[in-house]
Every structure is written in C-alpha cells, then in structure tokens.
Structure 1
C-alpha cells in the first residue's frame, strides 16, 4: 500500500502524529522544571482549515472537547478561580492550586477532596482556588496605572484586549495589530502557571479570518489537543462577532515537548490511524463575544478511538 497517497496520510491529523513522532525520535532529551524530563524540539508549525465547520479534534484518541470549550468560555469571563470550572466538572486546572495547598499546609489531601471543598466552601476557594492573573485576566482586564501624585500610581481601568481586537477587525480589517497577548512580564510571578498559549494574532484575507497562535511551551500529548480546540473555538467566535467567515488556524510552538513518562501514550497513539472529520457548529451568535454559553455549540461526526491516560507534570 502506498501510505503517502492513502486517506490517512492526507488527513489533517497526520501533521500532529508526525510532530509527535519527530519529537519522540529526534527531540533533545533534557531535564525540565517539573523534574520529569522531556524530549523537545523548537519552532514547529501546524495548519488547519476551519472552513465548513471543521475543527481540529484528534481522532486517534478521545479529546474531551467539552472541557476545552468550557475552559475557553471561562477565559473570556476574566475569572481566575478554578471554582466555576469545578462546578461544571472541569478539573484540568486543579493540579497547580492543589500542589500549592499541599506544599504550604503540609496536608496530603486527595485531589477529589480538595476539589469538593473548593466547590462547597467559598472562603476556602478564595484562599486556595485562585490561580493569579492568568489568561482571561490579561485578555479582558490587562492592568494599567495612572499618576496619583507625589510619584505614586494607582490602578487605572483595565484593557479588554478581546473587545479591542473585535472592534479593530470591524473598523480596520487590513490592520496588522489584531493581537491578544497573555505574557504580562510584570505579573508573571503572581501566576500559578505563566501562559503557554500566549499570543493570538488575527488576519483577514477576503472575508476569512485566520488566527496564528504562538505557544511558548507545549505539552504535545496532553496540552496541545486542548489548545487546538480552544484556539479554533476562539477564532470561530471572533470571526462571527466581526462578521467574517473562519479561515485557517496556524499554530507555532516554542519549546515543543513530550514528557518521558508519556512513553506509553506516544507509542500507542502512533500505532493508530486518523479517520473522520468532526464538525463544530455554532448555534447562535450573541450580542457580544462575552455572551456565548456552552449550549451555543455542538460537535457532530466525532467518533474517536479510545482515551489514553497519562499524568500531568506540575
């Protein structure tokens, strides 16, 4: 069989599998912040066409797209507490505040018990469930400062980058400054995790809106499948709000890695063949991008192979 001309070889997901294989076979092996160890490459790129409701959902393993969608909608609220996510059953951000709680209190509480207490106890959630000024806070409330006399400054009105981008796309679609930035150097020390998917730039060609996402650090096995779905959803929402059709999602990675303790996941997934073409449908276009709800979206024709579980490196 000529694999180069097979349907699997031309499937968009083959880009992802080729990236995974390249990292695992050619990546530089080294220690990392987590102590787990990685194999990594620098600067790869993936491209996906979002026309006709296409969405980059992996089919060679199950991706929990509902959690990725809920996370993106949470970012747009500007909230930085994991409590709203846990109330919706989304646990993907629990590891970092849980690690801090264990470190600072010395208590070996289980993750389930910690999450239950966050949901049930607002005061406990305020103390232990906040992630600092991550993602959404920077996106919709980037801090500014204004003079307060005697060389003092006070907090000024926050900048809503998302709203500014949409207004800019409507007013000046040919502009080159349609950017949402999460890397606020002054506030990095306050963040539970500095932003990985840090810079989104949008470009209009014809009547199509494309998004180029730069991700400074990428866990390809666990993080990237979520990040691709989230970026696709964001692009679709921004396009709809600007009166445009979706174009391409272009993803560029900085330190793009696989953790050494994900060997079983990598080796299993690389034996699988991608198939099918899931669709993400938007059922409503609300007044603003901040009024979307989970029920405004539906995924169809998604028939993935089974999930492959692996630990998150914290």
Structure 2
C-alpha cells in the first residue's frame, strides 16, 4: 500500500475579505446586542465599541459588496461638507436626499402640511427663500469643519462679538505638510456650544490623521452608528477623505480605521440583517482620482472613478429620524 503526501505550497493563504469584519459585527449585534429604547422610538440592539480596518493600498476602497452602496451619493455629501454646507438645497439639486427627512419632518410638524418628500425637495430647489427658511440644518458638519465659531471681546466687560471662523480642514492639510509626526492632526465636529442648534448632532465626529513611512492613515471615531444603513456611507467617506488628503499632502494612502461607540441595528431592520447575513462578500472596488485640484476644497464629483465594483442587489430599509 502506498500513500501520497500532498505537495507543500509556499503560497500564503488568501486574506479574508475585509467585509467579513462588518458581517461578523452585524451578526454579533443582532444576536448579542443589548435591546434598548432609543431617541427615535424604533428601538435598537446595540453594543459599545467596535473597530474595522481597511488597507487603501493600490486604490482599494471599502465598498460593501453584499449590497449596493451608492458611492456617488456619499461622495457628493462629502464635497458638500468640505464646502461648509448646512442647507440641503445643493444636495436636493443633485438628487441627494439623505438629509431631507430632518427638515421635512420639521416642516410637516410646524405647518401641518402633509407634503411629500418629492414635492418638498422640488420646492427647496425651485424657491431660494423657501430653502433658506426650511432647508437649513443648523451648524452641522460642514460648518464645524471649515468655519468653527470663535468669539472675541467687543470692548465692554462681558460683551463679545463673532470672530473669524476656524477652518480645521485647511489647518490639518498644512500641519500634515509641515509636521507629519504631530499627534494633533484632528478634525472635530462635536461643538458642545452649538449641538442644540443642529438638526442632528454629529455622528462621525472625530477624524485623526497619522503619517508613517510616507503613508497617510485616518482613524474616525463615530459616537453613534446605524450599522445597517449608515455605516456603508461612513466607511466610504472616511476612505475618500483620507485619499483626498493624501493626494493634497504628497503622501500615499495608508489605512482607514473606523471606530464606533454606540453601534446598533434598528429592530425594524430584521429583513435587511437576515438578507445581508445570508450573502457572501466577493470582489474588490478600486477608485482613481482623475486630477489633482489646487486644494482640498476644489474636488468635483467628476474627479472620481470607481472600477471593479460588482455588488449584490440593494437592500431597502426605513430610516429612523
């Protein structure tokens, strides 16, 4: 009797698809998460503290493959943040409705008019005065990123006037160039003094950049994450901002590191969770930046090209406002 010894392969086993980090986290929250009543009244299953890492080398981008992610929508939102946007009008004009529900909800409550989202958005785009009155979200992300409020003495004791706003994004670009080893490359959205004036306090609140061996990485701390719907946009936007900052600072992209505080799944997302957990991740998306603008604030949607993205079907689920 003879036996056959398998030939040894020196090839390293393939690394697991990055998306398993997400699916394993989803399964853990759905089966083990603490069930809680939340601000929206819908209810969630939640855990505190989770981390997902993604290597941006070679143009790779963290697009979920177990469902379709509309990366152009997320990119348009990021460009709106960088423009300091707080009014939904520019988003609605591009067909981006991810922020419309909050002002729409306020309009319906205060006027009693049962207007549809489609008609509300159309009116926002067509009527500048209406958009100014009903489309503003308060000092949300873009305002904090590029125009953080300051105040200076106005001459009399206890009297202050508005000072020049702080552009955190521009400051970080310059600090990355001048002092790459610094531990102060931070963009912060959590302005305690202005939280009550925001339609929604910042969820993805703190971005910290890190340079090592010519590569730029970024860690995002997200205080609250809707894993079923919001995470896909948050992870893409983190990677996108890191890629843009790297290009502006003459660095190679490193890692996108996402850290969630309260990470949750809504109880009315059972169909989404069950469908997504039944799917297998496959494939890899890559993104090319087609030009280098003069500054971090000059990118356009046409500057980004995604290839190799072949997701499974979109999974619809309700948004909790």
Bin the TM-score by the shorter chain. over 0.9
What are the Cα deviations for residues 166-225 of structure 1, in whole angstroms up to 9, with x where unaligned? 100000000000000000000000000000000000000010000000000000010000
Determine the structure 2 residue equivalent to 1:286.
293
Alignment of 1:51-90 (within 5 A): 51-90=57-96
In 2, Cα distance between the equivalents of 1:159 and 1:281?
A: 31
Q: Does 1:204 align with 2:211?
A: yes
Secondary structure of residue in 1 paired with 2:61: coil
| 2:311 aligns with one of 287, 304, 314 | 304
Determine the structure 1 residue equivalent to 2:28.
22
Off by >3 Å, runs of 4+ in structure 1: none
Secondary structure of residue in 1 paired with 2:259: strand
In 2, Cα distance between the equivalents of 1:137 and 1:271?
A: 40
Q: Does 1:277 align with 2:284?
A: yes
> TM-score with structure 2 length normalisation?
0.95
Aligned-residue offset at 1:108:
1.1
| 1:179 aligns with one of 186, 190, 193 | 186
Aligned-residue offset at 1:6:
8.9
Determine the structure 2 residue equivalent to 1:140.
146
Larger radius of gyration: 2
Alignment of 1:257-272 (within 5 A): 257-272=264-279
In 2, Cα distance between the equivalents of 1:292 and 1:110?
A: 33
In 1, Cα distance between the equivalents of 2:29 and 2:56?
A: 26
Secondary structure of residue in 2 paired with 1:226: helix
In 2, Cα distance between the equivalents of 1:313 and 1:134?
A: 18
Structure 2 alignment gaps of length 5 or more? 1-11
Q: Across the two proteins, how many residue pairs are aligned to each other? A: 309
Secondary structure of residue in 2 paired with 1:18: helix
Determine the structure 2 residue equivalent to 1:46.
52
Determine the structure 1 residue equivalent to 2:123.
117
Determine the structure 1 residue equivalent to 2:263.
256
Aligned-residue offset at 1:149:
1.4
Determine the structure 1 residue equivalent to 2:164.
157
Aligned CA-pair RMSD? 1.1
In 1, Cα distance between the equivalents of 2:46 and 2:320?
A: 15
Determine the structure 1 residue equivalent to 2:7.
none
